[in-house]
Amino acid sequence: MKVDVEGTLKRIESYKGVIGTIVVNAEGIPIRSTLDNSTTVQYAGLLRHLAAMARSSVRDIDPQNDLTVLRIHSKKYEIMVAPENNYLLIVIQNPCE
């Protein structure tokens, strides 16, 4: 399937309840973000390690397994981190109510 990068990202960014989206590369440098710079940098820096640790925990338990999405549900909103292919996609969403 042909993937339109721009379109895909736009789709995610304009989903209902999404506050912000960040794409981070392997070194933790944000490639693309809908939030302001300082927030982006903060999220990227903090979540990178967390995602790596989660992934390693999952693979420790079962080497065949892998992390698909790491979801952090907090009081105010939900943060979803999806690692893939050395990149990281971070989405922050406001839950239903």
Partner 1 sequence: MSPKKGKRSGSSKMKSKKSQSPTPQGKTGHPEDIFPLTLTSATQNLFGCQIDEDVTAQSPYKLLKKDDIMQDIKTRAAVSDFSPAKQIVLDYPEEEILLVFDSEFTFGQSFYLVLSPEAKNRILKLPETETPEVLENEVDTARKPKQWVSLGSEKEIEEESVKEREPLVFTFSRKRRFFGLPVSFSDNITPISQGFPSYEDNRRFIPAMLTDCGTQAVPKVQSSTAQTNWLGKRNNSTHYEPRDLSEEEKEVILQSDSMKEFLRGVTPRMLHALQQEEIFNLFTDDLKDLGADVEDDNEPDLSKGLELFKTFTDPSKGKKISSVNWHPSINGVIAVALKMQREEESDSEEDLSLTDPKFIAFYSFADLSKPQDLRKEQTPEVLYSAASEIESSHKAAVTDVQWLPPTFEVTRTGLPVENTSKLCVQVITCSPDCTIMFWDVRLPKQAGLSLFQRPDQNTPMTRYIVPKTFKHLDRTWKPLFKVSFQKMDGSGVYAPLKLSFEPYPGNAEAAGSWSAEDFLDYSQLRIPSAKELKTLEDVNTKIFIGTEEGEVVYTDWKLEKDEFGLVHCPKPLFSFSTHDFMVYAVQRSPFFKDIVLTVGTWNFAIWKEGVMEGPLHVSKFSVENCTAGCWSLTRPAVFFIGKDDGSMEVWDLLENTNGPSQVHPGIISGTIICIKPWIVSSKQHFLAVTNDHRVVRILEISKSLRTPTSNESSRMEEHFEWETKYVKEFDRRKKVWAKEKEEQELKKETKPAKPVLTPAEQEELDKKEYGEFLKLEESILKGLGLWPKPDHSDKKN
The residues that touch partner 1, with contacts defined as CB under 8 A, are: 1, 3, 5, 8-9, 11-12, 15-18, 23, 25, 27-32, 41, 45, 68-69, 71, 73, 78, 80, 82, 84-87, 89, 91, 93, 95-97
CB of 53 to partner 1, least distance (A): 19
Q: Of the two residues 11 and 53, which places its CB atom closer to partner 1 in the complex?
A: 11
Locate 37 and state its tokens: 């710079």
Locate 57 and state its tokens: 């925990």
Cα–Cα distance, 89 to 21 (Å, whole number)? 7
CB of 54 to partner 1, least distance (A): 14
Task: Supply angle C-alpha 92, 93, 97, rounded to 5.
Answer: 155
**CA-wise closest residue to 92 among 76, 73, 79, 75:** 79
CB of 18 to partner 1, least distance (A): 7
